[in-house]
Amino acid sequence: MKPKPNRILKILICIIAFEFASSSKTLAQCSGGLQSENYYINLNGTGNNTWGFFFPQFDPSIGTLVAVDIRYIVSVNINYQIQNTGAGLASYNVKANRFDSLTVTSPGPDVILTNTDLQNVGSYSLQPGADTVGAGTNASPQFFHLLAGYVLNDSITSSVVGFLGTGHLTLYNNPSTSLSVTGGSYSLTNSFIDTMKVSLTYYYCNPDILPINITDFSVSKEAGPFAKIQWEMQNEIEGRKYIIQQSRDGINFDNTGLVYSIPSDNMQADYIYHDHIAPGFSGELYFRLKEINPNGYSQYSEVKTLDISNFAGMYLYPNPANNFININFGEGSTSGWDVAIIAADGSTVQRGFYPNTPNALIRFSKPMPKGIYFVRLFNLDQQKFNTLEFCVQ
């Protein structure tokens, strides 16, 4: 980490402790109690250090993040001694100034906590050569409690998406401490001792995780605006449903697909669903499965994160399809497109011509048996073939 200009940098990359505890708090969207995950670090300095350190982001596979609490607790003690360096009696007034700044940044949105504290330390009338507790230089310095357990905190319940991920947050603590003296001529010696505790607490709902009969659950990008949702099941049963859910913030999920269980003789099943991504979307998406059993009992899978760069090019949806497909051609053709749907055995199911259009709705001319199908697209301008794939369930 690079030092900031004109500041003393002390890097502390070690997280002192990790705590995990259940909380008695509950939220309406939590089926059970609200849980918490806490990180903290203790810093001991000399009043004007600059600190940089890391806390982990919240892993969305653990649960649904609903709030973030950032807390900064500071205590400051000052030792000082003033000596009258003038020729006669003089009066002095001493003030202490403390500025605290905690910044949470990268990759999440900046969160800045600041506080300025200005206090009168004391007023003194000193004879020449006398210090604040008597004549000469052998006297003990004065001691002043500037701050004792002062708390800064911020509770964030919206826009928590920046705290989600498997990376880390970077935090900077930039305190400054000083004394100012007004009065006659003087010499001042002082030292500062400060202690800061910085804590980050994630509050989250821990949804019921699917039992171990799901042996694999993955999400990956596909060509076009699609995410490939794939999972494997053990001990599969008839009448079970899987709802595919998608979220842009890791908190609010929308239902985007439905798959019915298809158990085999050995009670194993593999599933693939091609989830549609809104055209033009770029960023992180979050996916999970909601399993609904025949008795109505439902459970959730862990949450998977997918980084979606801006999709472009040729694609089709929905996939799986039942009665129709939409095709986005992704490139122009003033002469049009020759489009054929081909069955897995190579036979042509239906064929059509689509002139000078960026997309087309193709309704199936007859019921399509379950299986894999291919769409052969011929650009009449470029005399070029492209092929897309979909399935019917």
Question: Are 211 and 231 contacting, i.e. CB atoms less than 8 angstroms apart?
Answer: no
Percentage above 90 pLDDT, the chain: 32
Q: Return the higher-pLDDT residue of 133 and 281.
A: 281
DSSP 376: E
Mean pLDDT, rounded, for 301-322: 77
Most confident of 31-40, 333-342, 354-363: 354-363
Query: Which amino acid does the sequence have at 200?
Result: L
CATH number among 3.40.50.300, 2.60.40.770, 1.10.10.10, 2.60.40.10, domain 207-311? 2.60.40.770
For the chain, percent of residues with pLDDT exceeding 70: 81
pLDDT at 134 over 80: no
Which pLDDT does position 9 carry in this prediction?
A: 25
Are 207-311 and 313-393 equal in CATH topology?
A: yes
Question: Which superfamily does CATH assign the domain made up of 313-393 to?
Answer: Macroglobulin (MG2) domain (2.60.40.1930)
CA distances from 172 to 48, 73, 117, 376 (A): 13, 14, 19, 56
Tell me what pLDDT residue 30 has: 52
Q: Residue 259 in contact with residue 305, Cβ under 8 Å?
A: no
Query: Who has greater pLDDT, 310 or 371?
Result: 371
pLDDT band at residue 117 using 50, 70 and 90 as cut-offs = very high
Task: Kindly list the domain boundaries of the chain, sorted by start residue.
Answer: 8-205, 207-311, 313-393
- What is the pLDDT at residue 287? 93
With 0-12 CB in 10 A as exposed, 13-18 as middle and 19+ as buried, what is 303? buried
Indicate the pLDDT class of residue 294, thresholds 50, 70 and 90: confident
pLDDT of 135: 46
pLDDT > 80? residue 137: no
Long-range contacts of 360-369 (CB under 8 A, 24+ apart): 360/326, 360/327, 360/329, 361/324, 361/325, 361/326, 362/324, 362/325, 362/326, 362/327, 363/323, 363/324, 364/321, 364/323, 364/324, 368/321, 368/322, 368/392
Buried b / exposed e over 236-265, threshold 16 CB at 10 Å, is: beeebebbbbbbbbbbebeebbebebeeee
C-alpha–C-alpha distance, residues 1 and 40, integer Å: 20
